[in-house]
Structure 1
Amino acid sequence: MYEIFQKYLDDKTTLTQAESDYIQSFAIIKKLRKKQYLLQEGDIWKYDAFITKGCLRTYSVDEKGSEHVNSFSIENWWTGDRESLLYQQPSRFNIDAVEDSELVLFTHDNFELLCKEVPAFNAMVNAILQKSFIAAQNRIQASLSFTAEEKYLNFINKYPGFALRIPQTMIASYLGMTPETLSRIRKQTAKK
């Protein structure tokens, strides 16, 4: 499992063997079964987490019991609750496995140490954070200005494999619509 993370590092940056070994020395391997929690609302998130296999979702549950999906994360993506991690406050989110998943975790203290002591790792992390910020901006813009059909088409164009891996009810929640609306849109777009 760690080999997948090492390949990711090799694709994103250049490290010496000593730096690679040093990073690996802090890695924690975690396996999740489908529907198993990585984080539950109210807990404090303590890790930087990289997904080597599977799919996870980050979501909240409102007072009526409705789920609101904030994001999905798949292989070669990072996941977690940055707000809880950085401010050490109880999370407002749940993160669970949509399918059986495997992750490489680093305690945040160790992750910060790696960023400090391995400049190439730090540069990679900064590039990832910038891309994440841009993705968040684009998601907000789509949420505010796209029609329901445009939201769905944008989603399947950006993440073509997600529709095959993620239940339609979760996709509808992510897009901010009812499952019935998503079903109607899918039927309309299939006819075009």
Structure 2
Amino acid sequence: MKALINYLLQFGNLNPTQIDLVKSKVVFKEIKKDEYFQEAGRIPREIIFLIDGIMRICYYNNKGEEITKYFMQENRFLADINSYNQEIPSTEYIQAVTDCSYFVLSKNAMRELSMTIIEWDNIISKITAKGLADKVNKISPMMSEDGKERYLSFLEKFPNLANRIPLSYLASYLGITQSSLSRIRRNIR
């Protein structure tokens, strides 16, 4: 719980009563490796704060190929924010890459916090803006890099992730085949 509260406090002030209110609205959950937190076609009704583990956000392209958009690791909020806000079915899957534990804030809990804590919407807005900026900063540089450069950039930005996720997911994220990734890894050792 401390990690969640500390994360929120980076984006705004909450007094002890407000912190207790947030704590009362949060539900602890766990999910096993390879299980889905969210599936495409469903309207998301929860936001999670990942405490332990790695999740990936993926979708299927028009050829039926599974594409990994990005990975999310500990101490971050995670949601398909567009589908959540607009209450429309998601086009993405959120899957546990490892066993994960997380806190859940339901849509009703978020609404209650918004109506009770004056600063809440501002805090959430800042967190959302940071999340979107982080996503753009991860993806944009990759567009002009070849597979080897993308892999080396990934290792530089996420040194503790590479050994925790399956090669097939990493290759999909990097936009290369698994055999190309294996060759790149062999050549840089």
Give the TM-score taking structure 1 as reference length. Answer: 0.87
Count, aligned residues: 189
Please tell me whether residue 69 in structure 1 is matched to residue 68 in structure 2: yes
CA apart distance, 1:177: 0.8
Partner of 1:138: 137
Following the alignment from structure 1 to structure 2, what is the Cα–Cα distance between the partners of residues 141 and 11?
26
Following the alignment from structure 2 to structure 1, what is the Cα–Cα distance between the partners of residues 111 and 159?
34
- Structure 2 unaligned residues grouped into runs of 5+: none
Report sequence identity in percent: 29
Give 1:18-97 correspondences, 5 Å limit. 18-97=17-96
CA apart distance, 1:12: 5.4
Partners of 1:116 and 1:122 within 8 A in 2: no
**SS of 2:162 mapped into structure 1:** helix
Following the alignment from structure 1 to structure 2, what is the Cα–Cα distance between the partners of residues 179 and 29?
35
Cα shift readout 1:73-92 (whole Å, capped 9, x = no counterpart): 11101112112111211111
Partner of 1:185: 184
Higher helix share: 1
Following the alignment from structure 1 to structure 2, what is the Cα–Cα distance between the partners of residues 131 and 150?
25
**SS of 1:163 mapped into structure 2:** coil
Structure 1 runs (4+) deviating above 3 angstroms are 6-14, 62-65, 119-124
- Structure 1 unaligned residues grouped into runs of 5+: none
Partners of 2:57 and 2:95 within 8 A in 1: yes
Partner of 2:109: 110
**SS of 1:153 mapped into structure 2:** helix
Task: Pick closer, same or farther for the CA change 1:120–1:108 going to 2, 3 Å.
Answer: same
Q: What amino acid is the match of 2:160?
A: G
Following the alignment from structure 2 to structure 1, what is the Cα–Cα distance between the partners of residues 36 and 186?
33
CA apart distance, 1:139: 3.1
CA apart distance, 1:101: 0.7
Cα shift readout 1:5-36 (whole Å, capped 9, x = no counterpart): 23434565542211011111211222101111
